[in-house]
Amino acid sequence: MTARRNLFVPRRGAAFCYIPAHVISRARKSSVDNDFGAEHTTAKLRALGDYLPAYTTALKAQPFRLTYIDAFAGTGECRIKIRGGEKITIPGSATLGHRCDPPFDRLVFIEKHSGFVDDLNRLRASTPEREIDVICGDANVELPRVLARLNPASDRTVIFLDPFGMELDWATLKAVAKSGFADVWYLFPLSGLYRQAAHNSTDVDAGKAARLTRMLGTDRWRVDFYKEPPQMGLFSKPDEVRDFDVQQMTDWVTEHLRSIFPKVMPPKILHQTMPSGVQGAPLYALYFAMANPSYRAHALATRLVTPSLR
Ligand SMILES: C[S@@+](CC[C@H](N)C(=O)[O-])C[C@H]1O[C@@H](n2cnc3c(N)ncnc32)[C@H](O)[C@@H]1O
């Protein structure tokens, strides 16, 4: 038998971060390849893994049915590359929801890739006594449907929104915000935003513009992010250059989320990690938002979530 050992993987602001041995199974392959980067994967899963049991503990004495909804659920496992190129497998978000103790009353996994859905069905079959729905489909269609069937008086839910890129539509976020009872972790694709909203407006073709507008729910980004260059040649076409840097775009997104959610915490920025361990470009902004308008709920969640967003 191979002895398990604790591993350290690169992390922002420090050379390494710690993954305890019990969460690792070395290079165990899911039925379908599902590889992600190390730093942002461990950071988002650490935040989720800390929050879920804190949430079910805080609400366990209350008369609510607690549901965990994983709208971009993956396979239940994540294979990440650590320093030296070795790959390890750690529990993914669906497994964190499944293992959460105290447990959720119900789990809902939404996943578009049918091969990944097979893995999620295996996770479901491992505990047939539990209420687990595995839905193969588009989160933008399925998540609003799931929410519409929950009862604001008796249901409370944590939703994890973890797309690869710009797959989540603003209309879906609006449905979540409208629910009034969901807490949300959203891994917002910052690099998708600043790559699609290219430096020069002439590089933003119709497809990129449509994708940005779908993700942001408005085309106001055209006006807010860009300005005409100060010196225009005589008769030249008025190309615009992006005036906003990544920090300003992030601040814009934070305020935009605040226009629909009563509470949005300042995000944690997750960076690419270079092979040397040095911090690279910003990739994602990890947001925590609440649809619940209650100040008491905000105060409790702020206490629970703040350490994860530092
Ligand atoms: C970053 S991975 C999720 C990883 C997972 N949360 C975990 O921790 O293991 C994104 C997942 O979303 C799925 N996906 C992409 N677009 C989707 C969509 N529109 N609706 C549902 N799932 C989608 C992909 O197949 C992929 O498995």
Q: What is the pLDDT of residues 74-95, one digit of tens each?
A: 999 998 877 677 788 999 999 9
Convert the pLDDT of each residue in 247-288 to its tens digit: 999 999 999 999 999 999 999 999 987 777 778 899 999 999
Res. 1: pLDDT tops 50: no
- Determine the pLDDT at residue 40: 82
Res. 3: pLDDT tops 60: no
| Ligand 1 atom 12, closest CA | 72
- Determine the pLDDT at residue 214: 98
Q: H/E/C letters for each residue in 240-270?
A: CEECCCHHHHHHHHHHHHHCCCCEECCCEEE
Residue 76 and residue 162 in contact, taking contact as beta carbons nearer than 8 Å: no
Report the candidate in 133, 140, 195 with the shortest Cα–Cα distance to residue 163.
140
Number of other residues whose CB lies within 10 A of the CB of residue 159: 26
Residue 237 pLDDT class (50, 70, 90 cuts): low
For residue 165, the CA-to-ligand 1 centroid distance in Å is: 9
Helix or strand run (H / E) with residue 132: strand 131-136
Averaged pLDDT score across all residues of the chain = 87
Res. 2: pLDDT tops 60: no
116 Cβ below 6 A of ligand 1: yes
Residue 91 and residue 188 in contact, taking contact as beta carbons nearer than 8 Å: no
Judged by phi (left if over 0) then psi (alpha if -120 to 50, else beta), residue 267 lies in beta
Identify the weakest region by mean pLDDT among 5-9, 71-75, 114-118: 5-9
- Determine the pLDDT at residue 232: 56
| Ligand 1 atom 25, closest CA | 113
For the chain, how many helices (H) and strands (E)?
Answer: 10, 15
Mean pLDDT of the region 182-196: 97
Instruction: State whether residue 72 is helix, strand or coil.
Output: coil
- Determine the pLDDT at residue 230: 63
For residue 162, the CA-to-ligand 1 centroid distance in Å is: 6
- Determine the pLDDT at residue 82: 74
- Determine the pLDDT at residue 273: 78
112 Cβ below 6 A of ligand 1: yes
Instruction: State whether residue 29 is helix, strand or coil.
Output: coil
Convert the pLDDT of each residue in 251-260 to its tens digit: 999 999 999 9
For residue 8, the CA-to-ligand 1 centroid distance in Å is: 25
Residue 133 and residue 104 in contact, taking contact as beta carbons nearer than 8 Å: no
Number of residues in the chain: 310
| Ligand 1 atom 9, closest CA | 92
Domains of the chain: 7-191+264-299 (3.40.50.150)
The tokens describing 123, both together, are 């996770």
- Determine the pLDDT at residue 23: 44
